[in-house]
Chains A and B, each alone.
Chain A
């Protein structure tokens, strides 16, 4: 008995120790990056004059754009989730999976797709010309930015909110249905209380995604008047080589992100998780049904059209010419290698931190170990990249040597909060259910993982790997400061092609990128679920 307890305590201690070491290492890395940024600020006094653009304008523009994007995305997300929750139709699961893929759809692809569809020489314009109607609409500017953000973040919000609606207790739903609650009362009494706790944290995440959005603003911004902090940081490093300005802007960006995310973390009452729990569908009739069908058709049309227009490039005449180029293969192999590496690293760290979080007691220690995970939410990809960029220069390491490691590490840090949010609740549930049994069986930490946790977590592991891989594959933030002609990834190649007005090339690369991401995102969780062979 005493020996059993000793082994159990030892297994738990190992998990705690490993988790703390990893969390501390991430913390140390972040501090090093931050110090590197501050060091530049010290060498060149921040008060000194630089080529500074109007920072107030940048902050105002970033904030207005992000606020509008958040409001619109939440509105669209609620409407889509409402419609999907009520309607039953053939292909419903496919539509939900497509909306769920918004989180991994690269911004650069959506931006290019929107130009393809809504641009002056786009599909809509071509279509209207058949009837002799002119198209004088510009997708560039604030409208284009909001449109792209609302499509991506609205679909993301819909997935999260739908999962909450589908998790309403079945018995409560049956009682309300048998009481014949009218649609509005049903929404106010059942739906609203269910989603209202999710809204603040979800809103904060969408705000930050929009606030730190890079490729969409860069491609659809249409000029300096719509520039945001993120794009200004990129311009300062890559275009005007003004490191001091980049640091100034990064510090402003960091402080603002911190101000936004802290209340959301402190007041968050909800774990944002996806998952479908109920098969019972209570459909509505009349005007409600008409509205739901209309909302869904408009939503699918808006989300799918830019994606389809990009995917159509797979049938382009120039497809084979492009894929036969050695530079294309270099970019593809680099992207796949980096994606796979950061996916494995993300999974490894997420498991260790989740296990340590469960093994630790007390709210403060649990919160402290999870703190490094909020890196992504506090430090935007470009600022993270800038930190690595400066650190490499200070350590006199060539960019070409350090770039692959930076990309793997940077993308891992970006995927970690999502990975832990997916793994930790399931691990916690396994722990709650089997902890006493596992303790009494005297299993070591490794056996516990091999025989209990791994078989039960197959699907979640698949989701984490797919998510981290897709994030890395679509990244344009971290690569933007390290990308060169020799060191190229698919998004970077796409960005360069687009910048050189080789739109066909950009479209074909975008289509291949989407194809890989969608395949991995949809197939990997299924394979892992089957592989683990336990989950029903």
Chain B
């Protein structure tokens, strides 16, 4: 269980407090919507460790994660773009920070399997810059698969994708979250994204997260 308990946060030059309080079970997805600047992405930064709350707790299976630095948190992130290093191959991008040496037989097999799971077998040697927007998101998802961290944070991952690619990605994500029992939080402007993924809907209103 991921518990975000009574979190308060405010930016240095702002008086307003952003407030978050919710919990999320394994294999569950919540979708957060709200206007620009409402504090949706702030929540992801707080869970990922890029921001520290002024008050409150974040626990995963009763273990505190706030004390951990970003690189040690049990978190994978997927942004709208810039998830990959464009000058590296798909294989290298997936292995980065996940596997020691991507050339060993064992790791090669793991990368191939992850690529197969996201429908991109045979793309391993391609440069990331040569991929389409949807393919890049899938490669980032393949890396997430290999990292297999229990919390998945998605910051508007479908923005900029065409309708069919977005639908395919939503179906794939829904399947992988259930299969790997991840706790997934998706920030989106679009309620259809949330419904397509079977997510619980939350909205940021007056700087408070409301169901």
Contacts and interface: CB of A to CB of B under 8 A. Distances in A.
Asked if A pairs with B, the answer is yes
A175 B77 contact: yes
A178 interface: yes
Contact of A169 (B75, B77, B82, B87): B82
B72 interface: yes
Nearest to A179: B97
Given A189-B88, A193-B87, A180 B82 contact: no
Nearest to B82: A171
A171 B83 contact: yes
Contacts of A294: none
B70 A189 contact: no
Given A179-B71, A180-B71, A193-B87, A174 B48 contact: yes
A178 B82 contact: no
B79 A178 contact: no
Given A174-B48, A174-B50, A280-B50, A181 B81 contact: no
A194 to B, nearest CB: 11
A305 to B, nearest CB: 34
A190 B82 CA distance: 12
Interface in B14-47: none
Interface in B87-122: 87-88, 96-98
Contacts of A174: 48, 50, 70, 77, 79
Contacts of B147: 179
Interface in A171-218: 171-172, 174-181, 185, 189-190, 193
A179 B96 contact: yes
A174, A181, A282: residue with the most chain B Cβ atoms closer than 10 Å: A174
Contact of A178 (B76, B80, B81, B88): B76
B58 to A, nearest CB: 15
A27 B73 CA distance: 61
B85 A178 contact: no
Contacts of B80: 171
Contacts of A181: 96-97
A178 B75 contact: yes
A180 B72 contact: yes
Interface residues of B, number: 22
A185 B81 CA distance: 21
B71 A177 contact: yes
A174 to B, nearest CB: 6
B85 A180 contact: no
B82 A175 contact: yes
B152 to A, nearest CB: 12
Given A189-B88, A280-B50, A178 B70 contact: yes
A189 B50 contact: no
Given A171-B82, A172-B82, A280-B50, A178 B77 contact: yes
B159 to A, nearest CB: 13
Interface string A279-305: 010100000000000000000000000
Nearest to A193: B87
A173 to B, nearest CB: 9
B79 A175 contact: yes
Contacts of A180: 71-72, 97
Contacts of B73: 178
A169 B96 CA distance: 18
A189 B84 CA distance: 11
A280 B48 CA distance: 13
B98 to A, nearest CB: 7
A219 to B, nearest CB: 45
A172 B78 CA distance: 10
A178 B83 contact: no
B77, B80, B81, B147: residue with the most chain A Cβ atoms closer than 10 Å: B77
A169 to B, nearest CB: 5
Contacts of A171: 79-83
Contacts of A178: 48-49, 70-71, 73, 75-77
Contacts of A175: 77, 79, 82-83
Interface of B: 48-50, 70-73, 75-77, 79-83, 85, 87-88, 96-98, 147
Given A171-B80, A280-B50, 16 more contacts: A169-B82, A172-B82, A174-B50, A174-B77, A175-B79, A175-B82, A177-B71, A178-B70, A178-B75, A179-B98, A179-B147, A181-B97, A189-B85, A189-B88, A193-B85, A282-B70
Interface of A: 169, 171-172, 174-181, 185, 189-190, 193, 280, 282
9 contacts: A169-B82, A171-B81, A171-B83, A172-B85, A174-B77, A176-B97, A181-B96, A181-B97, A190-B85
